[in-house]
Amino acid sequence: MIQAEHVTIDRGGRTICHDVDLTVGPGEVVGIVGPNGSGKTTFLLSLNRALAAAGGRVLIDGADIAGMTRRRIARQVAVVAQESETALPLSVRDSVALGRLASSSMLDYGDAGDTELVDAALTRVDLGGLADRLITRISGGERQRAMVARAIVQQATHLLLDEPTNHLDLHHQFSLLELVRELDCTTVIVLHDLNLAARFCDRVALLADGRVVAAGAPGEVLTPERIAPIYHLHVERIDHRGRPCLLFDPADTTTGTTDGRSADDTG
């Protein structure tokens, strides 16, 4: 379980997150959504103490992370950050294997058990054929999948993901998020795509200006009335197979209507 209680985060002399509360139950997948600058990534980074909170606290299975060592946090919490161009020039296999450092001693690191875990993780993210290629020589989407494989071999029970579907085509977006659900970790995931959040998350928290506007089941939170003023778009919703599907169109700020194009025209 992850519990964030009254978390406030300051950066650069200003408050980015204000008094944020969030509870994620065992095995639950909770999405953090909101426009750019709403504090999604900043809040996510506080959940494993990558960023220190100015106020409030974060508990992992009841233990305050402020009192945990970095190694203990890493044993319990795996992180898939946004894809970076500064990756070390390791092979894909070796980059994934770094996930074992959280739970292996230097003497045991890289033994037969680790190798088996790494090979299985590479297969799960469909990268087995690229295992010996330099990670700097594969696409951004492939690097994202490699970072998920690293999280798998870390064998943590809690998972934090920051926009993991960036650079992925539709097939791999769905495959990766289906895999995240299969891992049965307590998961917090930042997503820009509200429709992906509605499809794959048990609950979502909608952030705006560093505050939680609403939190709950996707069908309760992702309503046109809430989303339109935050994203400054005209929003229509269709419920399909019990899930909300959202259509967006630029709003005419003078009349409150759309500019006449269909939602399909917006891409």
Calculate mean pLDDT across residues 87-99: 88
pLDDT at residue 255, rounded to an integer: 43
| One domain, residues 59 and 37 | yes
* pLDDT digits 0-9 by tens, 137-147: 998 888 888 99
| One domain, residues 200 and 261 | no
Calculate mean pLDDT across residues 199-204: 96
| One domain, residues 178 and 119 | yes
| One domain, residues 179 and 208 | yes
Domain that holds residue 93: 2-222
pLDDT at residue 108 greater than cutoff 90: no
| One domain, residues 132 and 245 | no
Prediction pTM value: 0.86
| One domain, residues 115 and 244 | no
Q: What is the mean pLDDT of the chain?
A: 88
Q: Which two tokens stand for residue 171?
A: 């097939």
| One domain, residues 109 and 132 | yes
| One domain, residues 184 and 71 | yes
Percent of the chain exceeding pLDDT 90 equals: 69
| One domain, residues 182 and 214 | yes
pLDDT at residue 133, rounded to an integer: 94
Residue 98: which CATH number? 3.40.50.300
pLDDT at residue 162, rounded to an integer: 95
| One domain, residues 176 and 230 | no
pLDDT at residue 107, rounded to an integer: 52
Among 38-52, 78-92, 133-147, the range scoring the smallest mean pLDDT is 78-92
pLDDT bracket for residue 227 (50, 70, 90):
very high
Q: How many domains are there within the chain?
A: 2
